[in-house]
Amino acid sequence: MGLNSAPQIAILASGRGSNFDAIVKAIGEGTLNARISLVASDREEAPVIAKAQSLGIQTVIEKNQERLAEFLVGQKLDYVVLAGYMRILKENFIQSFWDDRGFARIVNIHPSLLPQFPGRDGYRQAFEAKETLAGVTVHFVDLGVDTGPICAQQEFGIGDCKSVEEVEARGLAIEHELYPKTLNWILKNDFEIKTREGRPHVQPH
Protein backbone atom coordinates (compact mmCIF):
# COMPACT_ATOMS: atom_id res chain seq x y z
CA MET A 1 0.00 0.00 0.00
CA GLY A 2 1.13 3.53 -0.64
CA LEU A 3 0.98 6.28 1.93
CA ASN A 4 -2.42 7.53 0.80
CA SER A 5 -3.99 4.09 1.12
CA ALA A 6 -2.64 3.42 4.62
CA PRO A 7 -5.30 3.18 7.35
CA GLN A 8 -6.02 6.56 8.94
CA ILE A 9 -5.71 6.78 12.73
CA ALA A 10 -6.06 9.48 15.34
CA ILE A 11 -4.03 9.19 18.53
CA LEU A 12 -5.48 10.46 21.82
CA ALA A 13 -2.94 11.13 24.57
CA SER A 14 -2.70 13.16 27.75
CA GLY A 15 1.00 12.95 28.62
CA ARG A 16 4.49 12.53 27.28
CA GLY A 17 3.45 10.30 24.40
CA SER A 18 5.94 7.45 24.65
CA ASN A 19 3.55 5.09 22.85
CA PHE A 20 3.04 7.80 20.22
CA ASP A 21 6.82 7.75 19.74
CA ALA A 22 6.75 3.97 19.34
CA ILE A 23 3.96 4.16 16.75
CA VAL A 24 5.77 6.88 14.77
CA LYS A 25 8.96 4.79 14.85
CA ALA A 26 7.16 1.67 13.61
CA ILE A 27 5.52 3.59 10.76
CA GLY A 28 8.90 5.02 9.80
CA GLU A 29 10.50 1.58 9.83
CA GLY A 30 7.70 0.10 7.72
CA THR A 31 6.53 -2.38 10.36
CA LEU A 32 3.20 -0.58 10.87
CA ASN A 33 1.10 0.42 7.88
CA ALA A 34 -0.79 3.48 9.12
CA ARG A 35 -1.06 7.21 8.73
CA ILE A 36 -1.48 9.41 11.81
CA SER A 37 -4.09 11.93 10.69
CA LEU A 38 -4.02 13.85 13.95
CA VAL A 39 -3.11 13.80 17.63
CA ALA A 40 -5.71 15.00 20.13
CA SER A 41 -5.22 15.77 23.80
CA ASP A 42 -7.20 17.14 26.71
CA ARG A 43 -4.07 18.98 27.93
CA GLU A 44 -2.50 21.83 25.98
CA GLU A 45 0.77 21.36 27.86
CA ALA A 46 1.01 17.63 27.08
CA PRO A 47 4.47 16.92 25.60
CA VAL A 48 2.89 14.70 22.94
CA ILE A 49 1.35 17.80 21.33
CA ALA A 50 4.72 19.46 20.79
CA LYS A 51 6.11 16.18 19.45
CA ALA A 52 3.29 15.83 16.93
CA GLN A 53 3.59 19.45 15.82
CA SER A 54 7.33 19.01 15.25
CA LEU A 55 6.47 16.19 12.84
CA GLY A 56 3.88 18.26 10.99
CA ILE A 57 0.95 16.23 12.33
CA GLN A 58 -2.33 18.03 12.93
CA THR A 59 -3.07 18.54 16.64
CA VAL A 60 -6.29 19.23 18.52
CA ILE A 61 -6.77 20.32 22.13
CA GLU A 62 -10.29 19.53 23.29
CA LYS A 63 -11.62 18.55 26.72
CA ASN A 64 -15.25 18.31 25.61
CA GLN A 65 -15.74 14.76 24.37
CA GLU A 66 -18.89 15.54 22.41
CA ARG A 67 -17.09 18.19 20.36
CA LEU A 68 -14.03 15.97 19.99
CA ALA A 69 -16.11 13.03 18.76
CA GLU A 70 -17.90 15.23 16.23
CA PHE A 71 -14.57 16.49 14.91
CA LEU A 72 -13.00 13.03 14.74
CA VAL A 73 -15.97 11.51 12.94
CA GLY A 74 -15.54 14.17 10.26
CA GLN A 75 -11.95 13.04 9.68
CA LYS A 76 -13.01 9.69 8.14
CA LEU A 77 -10.74 7.71 10.44
CA ASP A 78 -10.31 3.95 10.39
CA TYR A 79 -9.47 3.72 14.09
CA VAL A 80 -8.93 5.87 17.16
CA VAL A 81 -5.86 4.84 19.17
CA LEU A 82 -5.57 5.67 22.87
CA ALA A 83 -2.00 6.23 24.06
CA GLY A 84 -2.06 7.35 27.66
CA TYR A 85 -5.37 9.21 27.37
CA MET A 86 -6.39 9.75 30.98
CA ARG A 87 -10.08 10.55 30.59
CA ILE A 88 -12.68 7.80 30.76
CA LEU A 89 -14.52 7.91 27.45
CA LYS A 90 -18.21 8.72 27.67
CA GLU A 91 -20.83 6.49 26.10
CA ASN A 92 -21.71 9.00 23.37
CA PHE A 93 -18.06 9.22 22.32
CA ILE A 94 -17.73 5.44 22.17
CA GLN A 95 -20.98 5.06 20.24
CA SER A 96 -19.68 7.50 17.62
CA PHE A 97 -17.17 4.83 16.56
CA TRP A 98 -19.29 1.74 17.22
CA ASP A 99 -18.72 -1.28 15.02
CA ASP A 100 -21.41 -3.85 14.31
CA ARG A 101 -19.03 -6.53 15.59
CA GLY A 102 -19.84 -5.41 19.14
CA PHE A 103 -17.12 -2.92 20.05
CA ALA A 104 -15.89 0.53 19.10
CA ARG A 105 -13.17 1.19 16.54
CA ILE A 106 -11.11 2.48 19.44
CA VAL A 107 -8.00 0.64 20.63
CA ASN A 108 -6.45 1.01 24.08
CA ILE A 109 -3.32 -0.26 25.79
CA HIS A 110 -3.67 -1.05 29.49
CA PRO A 111 -0.90 -1.67 32.05
CA SER A 112 -2.12 -5.00 33.43
CA LEU A 113 -3.17 -8.48 32.43
CA LEU A 114 -6.87 -7.75 32.16
CA PRO A 115 -9.29 -8.56 33.72
CA GLN A 116 -6.84 -8.17 36.61
CA PHE A 117 -6.26 -4.59 37.82
CA PRO A 118 -8.58 -2.55 35.60
CA GLY A 119 -8.72 1.22 35.91
CA ARG A 120 -5.80 3.48 36.71
CA ASP A 121 -2.27 2.59 37.76
CA GLY A 122 -2.21 -1.07 36.80
CA TYR A 123 1.55 -1.37 37.35
CA ARG A 124 1.25 0.20 40.80
CA GLN A 125 -1.65 -2.08 41.68
CA ALA A 126 0.39 -5.15 40.74
CA PHE A 127 3.44 -3.95 42.69
CA GLU A 128 1.47 -3.08 45.82
CA ALA A 129 -0.35 -6.43 45.66
CA LYS A 130 3.10 -8.09 45.72
CA GLU A 131 2.43 -9.92 42.47
CA THR A 132 5.34 -11.71 40.83
CA LEU A 133 3.93 -11.09 37.36
CA ALA A 134 2.54 -7.96 35.72
CA GLY A 135 1.57 -7.42 32.14
CA VAL A 136 0.23 -5.37 29.27
CA THR A 137 -3.08 -5.72 27.41
CA VAL A 138 -4.15 -4.26 24.07
CA HIS A 139 -7.93 -4.25 23.74
CA PHE A 140 -10.85 -2.76 21.88
CA VAL A 141 -13.02 -0.32 23.79
CA ASP A 142 -16.61 -1.14 24.65
CA LEU A 143 -19.06 0.55 27.01
CA GLY A 144 -17.37 -0.74 30.19
CA VAL A 145 -14.07 0.28 31.77
CA ASP A 146 -11.30 -1.94 30.35
CA THR A 147 -13.83 -4.66 29.49
CA GLY A 148 -13.59 -4.73 25.69
CA PRO A 149 -12.36 -7.62 23.52
CA ILE A 150 -8.71 -8.48 24.21
CA CYS A 151 -6.38 -8.28 21.21
CA ALA A 152 -3.00 -9.10 22.77
CA GLN A 153 -1.43 -9.65 26.17
CA GLN A 154 2.14 -10.05 27.36
CA GLU A 155 3.31 -10.76 30.89
CA PHE A 156 6.62 -9.98 32.55
CA GLY A 157 8.22 -10.78 35.89
CA ILE A 158 8.33 -8.18 38.66
CA GLY A 159 9.25 -10.33 41.66
CA ASP A 160 12.67 -8.66 41.87
CA CYS A 161 11.41 -5.09 41.38
CA LYS A 162 12.16 -2.79 44.32
CA SER A 163 9.90 0.07 43.21
CA VAL A 164 6.87 0.78 41.08
CA GLU A 165 9.17 2.80 38.81
CA GLU A 166 11.06 -0.39 37.97
CA VAL A 167 7.78 -2.11 37.12
CA GLU A 168 6.74 0.82 34.94
CA ALA A 169 10.07 0.84 33.08
CA ARG A 170 9.75 -2.85 32.24
CA GLY A 171 6.13 -2.44 31.26
CA LEU A 172 6.74 0.53 28.99
CA ALA A 173 9.47 -1.31 27.10
CA ILE A 174 6.95 -4.06 26.35
CA GLU A 175 4.18 -1.58 25.49
CA HIS A 176 6.39 0.08 22.90
CA GLU A 177 6.86 -3.23 21.07
CA LEU A 178 3.45 -4.82 21.61
CA TYR A 179 1.26 -1.86 20.65
CA PRO A 180 2.60 -1.17 17.12
CA LYS A 181 2.84 -4.91 16.40
CA THR A 182 -0.78 -5.47 17.43
CA LEU A 183 -2.07 -2.35 15.70
CA ASN A 184 -0.53 -3.54 12.44
CA TRP A 185 -2.84 -6.55 12.19
CA ILE A 186 -5.82 -4.77 13.74
CA LEU A 187 -5.67 -2.09 11.03
CA LYS A 188 -5.82 -4.76 8.34
CA ASN A 189 -9.28 -5.69 9.70
CA ASP A 190 -8.38 -9.33 9.15
CA PHE A 191 -9.30 -10.89 12.47
CA GLU A 192 -11.91 -12.95 14.24
CA ILE A 193 -13.42 -12.77 17.71
CA LYS A 194 -13.73 -15.81 19.95
CA THR A 195 -14.86 -16.10 23.56
CA ARG A 196 -12.37 -17.51 26.05
CA GLU A 197 -13.03 -17.71 29.79
CA GLY A 198 -16.17 -15.66 29.36
CA ARG A 199 -14.49 -12.75 27.58
CA PRO A 200 -14.15 -12.01 23.86
CA HIS A 201 -10.64 -12.26 22.46
CA VAL A 202 -9.52 -11.02 19.06
CA GLN A 203 -7.03 -12.93 16.96
CA PRO A 204 -5.64 -12.37 13.47
CA HIS A 205 -6.56 -14.77 10.69
The answer to whether 72 and 2 are in contact (CB under 8 A) is: no
- d(Cα 32, Cα 186) in Å, to the nearest integer? 10
Instruction: Give the separation between CA 175 and CA 55, rounded to whole angstroms.
Output: 22
Q: Label each residue of the chain as H, E or C.
A: CCHHHCCEEEEECCCCCHHHHHHHHHHHHCCCCCEEEEEEECCCCCHHHHHHHHCCCEEEECCCHHHHHHHHHCCCCCEEEECCCCCCCCHHHHHCCEECCCEECEEEEECCCCCCCCCCCHHHHHHHCCCCEEEEEEEECCCCCCCCCEEEEEEEECCCCCCHHHHHHHHHHHHHHHHHHHHHHHCCCCEEEEEECCEEEEEEC
The one catalytic residue in 110, 139, 176, 205 is 110
Asked about 205 being catalytic, the answer comes back as no
Give me the active site residues, please: 110
